[in-house]
Amino acid sequence: MQQALINLAYLASVVLLIVGLKRLSSPAIARSGNFIAAMGMGLGILVTMLIPLGSGDNNYILILIGLAVGSSIGLILSKRVQMTAMPELVSLFNGLGGACAVTISLLELFQYQEIFTGEIVGDVNMGKHFTTLLTIFIGGIAFTGSILAYGKLAGKVSDKHPAALSYLNIVFLLVLLALIGYRVISPDASFMIPWIILGISLIYGLTFVQPIGSADMPVVISLLNAFTGIAAALAGIVYENQVMFIGGILVGSSGTILTVLMCQAMNRSLFNVIIGGFGGSSKKGEDDEEKVAVEATLNDVAILCRYADRVIMVPGYGMAVAQAQKTCKELDNLLTGFGVDVKYAVHPVAGRMPGHMNVLLAEADVPYPSLLDMDDANSLIPDTQVCLIIGANDVVNPAALEDSSSPIYGMPILEVFKCGQVIVLKRSMNTGYSGIENPLFFKSNTKMLFGDAKSSLQNLISEIRELG
Amino acid sequence: MDQIINFIAENPITIYMVVMAIYLGFELISKVPTVLHTPLMSGANAISGVVVIGAILLIRQSPSDDYLALSLGFVGIVLGTINVVGGHSVTNRMLEMFKKK
């Protein structure tokens, strides 16, 4: 009877996770989806606390302390984080999940082997041993890889891509698979091997992520998230726990498909992303033609916007950094008051995560219908007088259409150069996040407004107010 | 090796379940709008914290004087809980932005 209740409760937990994940993929009900998934997780944890076990002292107090400490840290981190820093935080969380998988796999090993000598002290179930080694391997990569991705997004680690790393990665992968295979197939193999597997996996996580450019970190985080899911599913096999097993597989497969979708949004293959080295490789200054970007005066821009029929704002990471979303909305209100039709064109990969801009603009109360997706924006742009590029760069780079040697060639972009006048708000003439030069800045209908996005917008607002 | 082959021989239902769960994961996500990629990733990330259940089971199975198991298990619980609670909480913050029109 008790076992039946436990089984049913676990089943309910799994169903809640599935329904939650499903609802997360639709904007109107996504929030409830997150809540339902959290309920499923809570139920799973609760049931796990109550299952009768054959052995052990339960140690409930320690568990409750652990849960309380972890919850507090998680809540504090998630409440404090700036909207712009969310991608990093997700990556950090994912790394901790990977670390958790590694920790419990090590404990599983210690059930039947001595820590330092590797001497066998219990019965070895080779099937479980194999699964445990795989968990260490995948969880280890997810752990260190996510932490490095966190460092890269937070700007703490620079993009360096020694060519040797790509070869080293292949060697690591083969060595790891060989070691796992050897340990499982050969009964005499040393039980020190799991330690070597752990060490190489942790290093491999770093060398796997290092060659990948910071601009591609969202894709990598999604992939590493899938890894953590797979590690959880493998651990679920070892512990014969259905919630871990199904939950892990769901995250593994949905994370994988989400990774592929993100790559598609950038018109690149996953392979291309993982090989890395993206950015900075475009030919520079090949033609001797002197390129001059024209600087705009505030007054010009104010008049252009004030008397335009339609203004389209194109937000990018610069807007996020400057926290300029509310100022955008203020300008929007002002211009709308003058009868200007103000729209926002959001490129699928603007910012550092897909959907990043939507989140920020929604925070500033920009109504959903004002946000145009790429196709709608591109059909409106030719009839638009002014496009304000607010801290976006690569997503409006015409090289993606015109220059087949450009690393971003083929990526769909917002074709802002087709509008009447492009105004680029930018801090300096530096290249964008991907390090690719942007010919848009040198087009005849482009003018630059240098400065921090937020203060430029504020100056623009007061200038327009003065026009009356 | 034999044990792996035996596992496959003896657990056909489990293997069916793996395949179907993988397919379900693909299906759940395949039609998601770009706007939701980030929150969805964050939500999935929170779910991957289910691994914390393993840590709880381990601690419960350990004798109360097995300090190695208790301390490692404790670390596991803290790490996993940060992943779960922080993950759902940060996802909720992202999704809150869509709430108001």
CB contact under 8 A, A241 and B95: no
B16: Cβ contacts below 8 Å, ≥ 6 apart: none
pLDDT value of position B5: 80
Flag if B28 and A37 touch (Cβ within 8 Å): no
Q: Using pLDDT thresholds of 50, 70 and 90, give the confidence band for residue B1.
A: low
Q: A170: distance to nearest CA of chain B, Å?
A: 25
Q: CB distance B1–A184 less than 8 Å? A: yes
Chain B residues in contact with A358 (beta carbon < 8 A): 35, 97-98
Tell me which residue in A27, A38, A103 faces B98 most closely, judged by beta carbons.
A27
Which chain A residues touch B49 with a CB distance below 8 Å?
A: 41, 93, 97, 100, 232
Q: Rounded to whole angstroms, how far apart are CA atoms A354 and A377?
A: 17
In this complex, do B56 and A33 lie within 8 Å of one another by their Cβ atoms? no
Give CA–CA dist A52/A377, Å, rounded: 59
How many angstroms separate the CA of residue B20 from the nearest CA in chain A? 10
What is the secondary structure of chain B as a DSSP string? -HHHHHHHHH-HHHHHHHHHHHHHHHHHHTT--GGGHHHHHHHHHHHGGGGHHHHHHHHHHS-TT-HHHHHHHHHHHHHHHIIIIIHHHHHHHHHHHHH--
* C-alpha–C-alpha distance, residues B87 and A40, integer Å: 14
Residue B21 in contact with partner chain A when CB distance is under 8 A: yes
Cβ contacts of A337 within 8 Å, gap of 6 or more: none
B46, B51, B59 member nearest A231 (Cβ): B51
User: Can you give the pLDDT at residue A284?
Assistant: 40
pLDDT tens column, A435-450: 677 888 888 889 888 8
In the prediction, which pLDDT does B98 show?
66
Asked whether the whole model's pTM tops 0.90, one would answer no
A71 CB neighbours in chain B (<8 A) are 81-82, 85
Mutate to test the interface with B, among A21, A75, A100 (most CBs of B within 10 A): A100
All residue ranges of chain A with pLDDT < 50 are 277-289
Cβ atoms of residues A423 and A304 within 8 Å = yes
Cβ separation B47–A33 shorter than 8 A: no
Chain A within 8 Å of B28 (Cβ-Cβ)? yes
Q: What is the CATH number of domain A288-467?
A: 3.40.50.1220
Contact list, B78 vs chain A (CB under 8 Å): 66, 69-70, 73
Q: Where are the domains of chain A?
A: 82-276, 288-467
The residue among A102, A129, A118, A114 whose CA lies nearest residue A199 is A102
**Do A228 and A139 form a contact (C-beta atoms < 8 A)?**
yes
Cβ <8 Å between B49 and A97: yes
Q: Which of B53, B90, B92 sits opposite A89 (nearest CB)?
A: B90
Assess B99–A contact: CB distance below 8 Å, yes or no. yes
Return the structure tokens found at A284. Answer: 């520079």
B20 interfaces chain A, CB cutoff of 8 Å: no
Q: Is A394 a catalytic residue?
A: yes
Nearest chain A CA: its distance from B33 CA (Å)? 7
Location of structure tokens 């001595």: A114
Backbone CA torsion sign across A174, A171, A262, A413 = negative
B28–A18 CB contact, under 8 Å: yes
The pLDDT, as a whole number, for residue A283 is 38
Q: Return the pLDDT at A44.
A: 95
Which residue of A lies nearest to B30 if distances are taken between CA atoms? Answer: A257
Report the gap between the CA of B10 and the closest CA in chain A (Å): 13
Confidence (pLDDT) at A90: 92
Q: Which residue of B has its CA nearest to A26?
A: B32
Beta pairing partners, A310: A341
Which of B10, B50, B65 would you mutate first to test chain A, the one with the most A CBs within 10 A?
B50
What type of residue sits at position A103?
T
pLDDT in tens, A60-111: 999 999 999 999 999 999 999 877 788 889 999 999 999 999 999 999 888 8
Contact A104 B6 (CB under 8 A): no
Residue of B nearest to A126 (CA): B3
Tokens (6 digits) for A15: 């169903």
Q: Which of A376, A394, A403, A452 is catalytic?
A: A394
Rg over CA atoms, chain A: 26
Pick the residue of A63, A65, A76, A90 with the most B CBs within 10 A to test the interface with B by mutation. A90
- The secondary element (H helix, E strand) that includes residue A430 is none
Q: What is the pLDDT of residue A431?
A: 65
